[in-house]
A and B are shown apart, each in its own frame.
Chain A
Amino acid sequence: MSQNRQNPVGTRAQRGPWLEFLRPISTRESALLGLVIWVLFFVGWEVAAWRELVNPLLLPPPEQVLVSLYDLLVNRGFGVDIGVSILRILASFVAACIIAIPLGVLMGSFARIEGLFNPFVSAWRYLPAPAFIPILLAWFGTGEEPKLALLFLGVIWFLITLVMDHTRNVRDELIETAMTLGARRWQVLWTVIVPAVLPNILIAMRQMLAIAWTYLVIAEIIAATNGIGAVMWRARRFLDTDEILAGILVIGVLGLAFDLLFRWLYRILFPYLDRNGR
């Protein structure tokens, strides 16, 4: 496995200080460092719980959280709640993307379309989505609609703005080059602007998906009988802090998984952005 590891004596001479500007680290080292902080976190938690620095009712030790997570998953159908939450995220997020991405690209490409929509979008962006919860509940009752609508409203305006800004930043020279090669308007849009901005759109989606999780929990706490947030909220009533923490843990793990998925997609879809080729 590690035959090609360099001779430590040979490398010692070039080794710089531990913290160094502009010096990247290997994937392996970065994974290791990432693990270190988590280990420290759980050790700290464990110690705090074990020495009873905090009321054990409020802060159960990590292993107890894992045990109740196991119990929730195996005996109480928590898996279904997780699935429901993921579906809510996906449905509303996909809907937001279907509208926000084309609109943002058009707004970033054509000043007239921006002039038409931007005052509207900006105003909505300043309104905090949870402010709409009462009216959404009044309109839609307690079905799936108000939750999906909240997630949708929480994501779409920022996504439009991010996509628009990224589109506007496509270099003029690229567009002008295409035009002097004979590209017509829609050809410029499809063959230059869209491919140029696509990597940044994916990054914007990744950022907004994290926000969607925030709104999901709010929606499920306020108006749901199932989903991760609802389970956590129910546990609060019986002061089952281990179950609340289990829910938080699951959300964290899912968030990380989606983030990794996006990073992976980025590498798969845009190999040409890598200086060293594939």
Chain B
Amino acid sequence: MTLQAPTTAAAPSGQPHLALEGVGKVFELRRNEHIEAIKDVSFTMQENEVCVILGPSGCGKSTVLRMVAGLESPSAGQLLLDGNPIHGPGRERGMVFQSYTSFDWLTVQDNVEYGMRLNGAGARERRERAAEFIELVGLTKFANAYPRQLSGGMKQRVAIARTLANDPALLLMDEPFGALDAQTRWHMQELMMSVVESTRTSVLMVTHDIEEAIFLADRIEFMSRHPGSVLEEIKPTFKQGQRFTRKEQLLDFPEYGDLERHVMKLMRQQGGDDATPAEQGA
């Protein structure tokens, strides 16, 4: 299982940023009772790419992301970041969760400084860099507020700024906007797009929102239903490598509708048998 890849030193340019090779995960529920959450998941990601994992509920998206974060270990296969196997969590793979994770006892400023403080950055550098990222997510006025005084969307912006300020090689996000209302949600998606553009961060994100996936992704890994594996790799080629910072820009492309329709069809196929074409028409 722990075969050393013979090409570690060679070909640094062609090497993917993140690679999953035949990754599987079996959870033990009770003694002699196992559940295979994902099976043979393989895909790669390049530097500066925004990659979205999409799939029906329970297919194992969070499990994949948590393994990349190092919060779970794979039962089969391996995960490589820049060619090095992933063992346990580390600052180079910062994660933003769906639930709010701001530290209540720290101000917004101190929350954003938190990761840098752990990693021994100087006080001045911390302060300046945190201010920069707080500005980037539009919370400068709230730098000295405590999280309890913020709305859900603002707390999520704190979490994103905190993770980005720590300069991760890969930003991991598990349905980061899932708990937000529709309007806040697309504001956040647009904000994230511009932040990612300006910081050139690589992003691996989980969602089950099709629109969000198409808007944000350079590439979509669509996972099949339980036990999950990659069913289809979808590239929104109509974007021609551009990134948009306004959602309505998507609507200029007739291919957008086609792609959305295609993904929806996959979602219905994989998401259970209860949805009939008749309901679809209504």
Residues on A lying within 8 angstroms of B by beta carbon are 171, 173-174, 176-183, 187, 191-192, 195-196, 198, 270-277
Stretch at the interface among B42-50, B143-151, B192-200, B205-213: B143-151
Stretch at the interface among B74-82, B91-99, B237-245, B273-281: B91-99
| Cβ-defined contact, A187 with B118, below 8 A | yes
Given A275-B149, A277-B146, A180–B90 Cβ distance below 8 Å?
yes
Counting from the closest, the 6 A-B pairs by CB-CB distance are: A182-B91, A181-B115, A272-B146, A179-B89, A180-B95, A177-B101
| Cβ-defined contact, B118 with A183, below 8 A | yes
- Known contacts A176-B69, A179-B71, A181-B91; 7 additional CB pairs below 8 A are A176-B89, A177-B101, A177-B159, A180-B90, A195-B105, A275-B148, A277-B145
Query: Can you report 9 residue pairs joining A to B where beta carbons are below 8 Å apart?
Result: A174-B101, A179-B71, A180-B93, A181-B91, A182-B119, A191-B118, A272-B147, A273-B148, A275-B149
Residues on B lying within 8 angstroms of A by beta carbon are 69-71, 89-91, 93-95, 97, 99, 101, 103-105, 114-115, 118-119, 145-149, 159, 162-163, 166, 172
- Residue in chain B with minimal CB distance to A272: B146
- Residue in chain A with minimal CB distance to B174: A173
Task: Kindly state the separation between the CA atoms of A183 and B91 in the bound complex, as whole angstroms.
Answer: 8
| Cβ-defined contact, B89 with A180, below 8 A | yes
Task: Kindly state the separation between the CA atoms of A230 and B71 in the bound complex, as whole angstroms.
Answer: 58
- Residue in chain A with minimal CB distance to B69: A180
| Cβ-defined contact, B99 with A181, below 8 A | no
Q: Could you tell me the distance in whole angstroms from the C-beta of A70 to the nearest C-beta in chain B?
A: 46
Pick from A192, A195, A272 the residue with the most CB of B within 10 Å: A272
| Cβ-defined contact, B99 with A173, below 8 A | yes
Q: Could you tell me the distance in whole angstroms from the C-beta of B274 to the nearest C-beta in chain A?
A: 31
Neighbour of B95 across the interface among A176, A192, A270, A272, CB < 8 A: A176
Contacts of B104 in A (CB 8 A): 196, 272-273
Pick from A173, A187, A198, A270 the residue with the most CB of B within 10 Å: A173
Task: Kindly state the separation between the CA atoms of A181 and B147 in the bound complex, as whole angstroms.
Answer: 18
Contacts of A180 in B (CB 8 A): 69-71, 89-91, 93-95, 163, 172
Contacts of B146 in A (CB 8 A): 271-272, 277
